[in-house]
Amino acid sequence: MKRWMLYTCLTLLTHAAFADEHLESELGNLQHAWAKATYQTTKEQQEPAFKALSEQAHQLTAKNPDASEAMIWEAIVLSGYAKSMGPLHPVNALKAAEQARDLLLASIKANPQALNGSAYTTLGSLYFRVPGWPIGFGDKKKGREYLEKALQLNPNGIDSNYFYADYLRAQGDNAQAVTYYQKALQAPARPGREDADAGRKMDIEEGLRLAQSKLK
């Protein structure tokens, strides 16, 4: 009986480990596809690229309904999709942003520390970028709260510092924005995310240039 129980436990652990490895592999593929769509695709081709990627991300979440990491990455892709549609398709863009918001809130409820608090970073960015009432759910105050929570969880992260810097610059606080842009540039490299890091550094340098130009 004890041998049977030990065998069962080992089998379950093996299956769980395999499932985690499979999810990690698929998330890695999704991350690289996102980096390509974001930084290596022309603006004209971004919308169809993100549309296809959002379908892929949704399938991953459907296969792993309890995985906060999958929810976060589907939301990140949907945020990119919303941005790619821009003012030409405002209704569809808002719908994608709302789906992203709901996924991020669900992921936080399941595991607020998943991916070093990345859900808070994306959620904060959505709340400060999306138009407010009566058009959308945007809320600058909520956006700041979520971005500051992201910094608490990941104080040295490239994204947490970059998005907070962007928020500060949008609010006209360029001196503080410069501080956080510079901190973002000093963030440690993320193994396996070299393509995303390279693209993000271009974003940071552009934001830093704009913030510094306002201080002259």
Are 54 and 78 members of one domain?
A: yes
The number of folded domains in the chain is: 2
Are 64 and 168 members of one domain?
A: no
pLDDT, tens only, 21-79: 778 999 999 999 999 999 999 999 999 999 999 999 999 999 999 999 999 999 999 99
Exposure string over 157-167, b if 16+ CB within 10 A, otherwise e? bbbbbbbbbbb
The last residue of a domain, from among 147, 163, 195: 147
Q: Which residue has the higher pLDDT, 121 or 4?
A: 121
3-state secondary structure of 130: coil
- Confidence tier at 1 by pLDDT (50, 70, 90): very low
Distance between CA atoms of residues 40 and 137, nearest Å: 30
- Mean of per-residue pLDDT scores for the chain: 90
pLDDT, tens only, 72-96: 999 999 999 999 997 778 899 999 9
Q: Is the pLDDT of residue 11 over 60?
A: no
Are 112 and 212 members of one domain?
A: no
Are 122 and 175 members of one domain?
A: no
Which pLDDT belongs to residue 88? 76
The last residue of a domain, from among 119, 147, 175: 147
Q: Is the pLDDT of residue 9 over 80?
A: no
- Which residues, other chains included, contact 174 with Cβ-Cβ below 8 Å and sequence gap of 6+? 168, 211, 212, 214, 215
Q: Residue 195 domain-assigned?
A: yes
Q: Residue 48 domain-assigned?
A: yes
Are 186 and 131 members of one domain?
A: no
Which pLDDT belongs to residue 3? 52
User: Which structural domain, as residue segments, surrounds residue 123?
Assistant: 25-34+41-147
Q: Residue 16 domain-assigned?
A: no
Are 57 and 135 members of one domain?
A: yes
Would you say 103 and 123 are in contact if contact means Cβ atoms under 8 Å apart?
Answer: no
Are 143 and 173 members of one domain?
A: no
Which pLDDT belongs to residue 196? 96
Q: What is the pTM of this model?
A: 0.89
Q: Residue 215 domain-assigned?
A: yes
The last residue of a domain, from among 105, 120, 147: 147
Q: Which of left, alpha, beta for 101 (phi over 0: left; psi -120 to 50: alpha)?
A: alpha
Task: Give phi and psi for 138, each to the nearest 5.
Answer: -55, 145
Exposure string over 53-82, b if 16+ CB within 10 A, otherwise e? bbeebbebbeebeebbbbbbbbbbbbbbbb
Are 89 and 69 members of one domain?
A: yes
Are 30 and 126 members of one domain?
A: yes
Are 53 and 134 members of one domain?
A: yes
Are 67 and 141 members of one domain?
A: yes
- Which residues, other chains included, contact 210 with Cβ-Cβ below 8 Å and sequence gap of 6+? 169
pLDDT, tens only, 124-175: 999 999 999 999 999 999 999 999 999 999 999 999 999 999 999 999 999 9
Are 166 and 71 members of one domain?
A: no
